[in-house]
Amino acid sequence: PAVEGDLNWISQDILIFTPHRPLSAEQIYTVTITQGARSVKRGVTLHDDFSWSFTVRTPRAVYLAPSDEYVRNLFMTDLEDGSVYQLTASENGVEDFAVSPQGNEIAYAQYNADGTSDLWILHLINQTSRQITNCVDAHCYGPAWNADGTQVAYNREDYNSGLGLGPSSSRVWVVDVKSLRTQLLFEDSQMLGYGPVWSPDGQRIALIDAAIPGIRVHDYSTNSDTVIESIQGVVGTWSPDGQQLIYPVLVRGLLGQQFYTQLEMADFVSLERSRISGPEDTPVEDGDGVWSPDGQYLAVTRRYLTEQFTIGRQIYLLDPDSGDAQPLVVDDEYNHAAISWDAASQRIIFQRFSLTKAGARPEVGYYDQLTGEVRQIAENAMLPQWIP
């Protein structure tokens, strides 16, 4: 079938086609270079059409394991056959990671032997890793890719060893993954913050500003900032078009004696804010809220505080316009967190933890909307993300 997308030469030998919509794993695709195409490098002209076909692999899950040890590494599970692959072999451990928007690289924070940490990038095609920061006497972690995969924002905490000052508060830095040039996100070095998250359209970046306290959203097109008061210390997640941000807020319960988190949405087009969980007295506790890539729904971790009460948070599919919620993964034995959608908005992976088993450890679960299948794909593992 015809597929719309963008072509981009990244070198004289490599041309990348990026489709506007995710390719289907069940479809056979054919690529054709028509006759008359001419090589600029060698001056050779193609006399006949040249074609080849391919199918798209099933998305894979990447996560940190083992969760119960200090030294963790990145592992990947192939959901077709259940094969597990170890992606990193750090002797000191990997702290956290982020898959690039293009899906061909993973940025990860790796501990060094001296207690510092640096960011590395793993290229999934050739299985090579390269260091992209040099955080001397500092802790660098929390990588976040920008929309086109050319920059990674991260947190940096300087230890100030030998100065008698103790570690400094976190600041957000940015590294160019090609030139490896690093710089503060904000020119003002006194601007403290952490947890950067780029919008999918690349126009904005959100982070926790420790001084507010709350969320600071910087708009690159207007060079202006929006401040959202929140004491949760969590930025939240962007809508696929980059126009809305979902974030948690702390509210007082119906009887005024209980506090719990609910979700709000900031719209950067209408400049309005609205409640996703309903009015403050709505008897629900919402944690994570993650947009489906098609922008139609939110997957939320929710705990009802009524007759539907569960000890742990369960996963519901929420219509952001109507507020209607339908259960996706409800198992009272588990608490659910760290939701991640696949690119086709059909499957989710998540972290879950048994509340009834002695010595329980985090595990990675899988849910398929088309079949309703729920299963474990990794044990003693945490913080899953999809690799397209």
Q: What is the pLDDT of residues 184-196, one digit of tens each?
A: 999 888 899 999 9
DSSP state of 38: B
DSSP state of 70: S
Higher-confidence residue of 234 and 44: namely 234
Whole-number Å distance between alpha carbons of 212 and 215: 8
Is residue 11 predicted with pLDDT exceeding 80?
no
DSSP state of 183: E
Is residue 69 predicted with pLDDT exceeding 90?
yes
Average pLDDT over residues 344-368: 96
pLDDT digits (tens, 9 = 90+) for 322-337: 889 999 999 999 999 9
What are the phi and psi torsion angles at 177 (to 5°)? Answer: -70, -15
Is residue 385 predicted with pLDDT exceeding 90?
yes
Q: Which two tokens stand for residue 124?
A: 């999934």
Domain boundaries, the chain: 1-56
DSSP state of 22: P
**pLDDT value at position 12?**
72
**pLDDT value at position 255?**
57
Taking all residues of the chain, what is their mean pLDDT, rounded to a whole number?
A: 93
Lowest average pLDDT, out of 56-60, 90-94, 133-137, 312-316, goes to 56-60
Question: Tokens 């944690």 correspond to what residue?
Answer: 287
Q: Confidence class of residue 13 from pLDDT cuts 50, 70 and 90?
A: confident
CA distances from 156 to 168, 176, 212, 302, 375 (A): 9, 15, 19, 32, 37
What percentage of the chain has pLDDT greater than the value 90?
Answer: 73
Burial class of residue 124 (count of CB atoms within 10 Å of its CB; 0-12, 13-18, 19+): middle
Full DSSP string of 82-150: --EEE----SS-EEEEEE-TTSSEEEEEEE-TTS-EEEEEEETTTTEEEE----TTEEEEEEEE-TTSS
Is residue 254 predicted with pLDDT exceeding 70?
no
Whole-number Å distance between alpha carbons of 359 and 91: 26
Q: Confidence class of residue 136 from pLDDT cuts 50, 70 and 90?
A: very high
What percentage of the chain has pLDDT greater than the value 70?
Answer: 99
CA distances from 1 to 106, 257, 299, 338 (A): 30, 58, 31, 35
Asked if 329 contacts 338 with a C-beta cutoff of 8 angstroms, the reply is no
CA angle 107, 113, 115 (to 5 degrees): 80
**pLDDT value at position 14?**
77
Of the spans 46-55, 144-153, 300-309, which averages the highest pLDDT? Answer: 144-153
Instruction: Give every CB contact of residue 272 below 8 A, 6+ residues apart in sequence.
Output: 266
Question: Tokens 């004491």 correspond to what residue?
Answer: 231
**pLDDT value at position 120?**
99
β 374-379/94-99 pair status = unpaired
Q: Confidence class of residue 256 from pLDDT cuts 50, 70 and 90?
A: low
The verdict on pTM exceeding 0.75 is yes
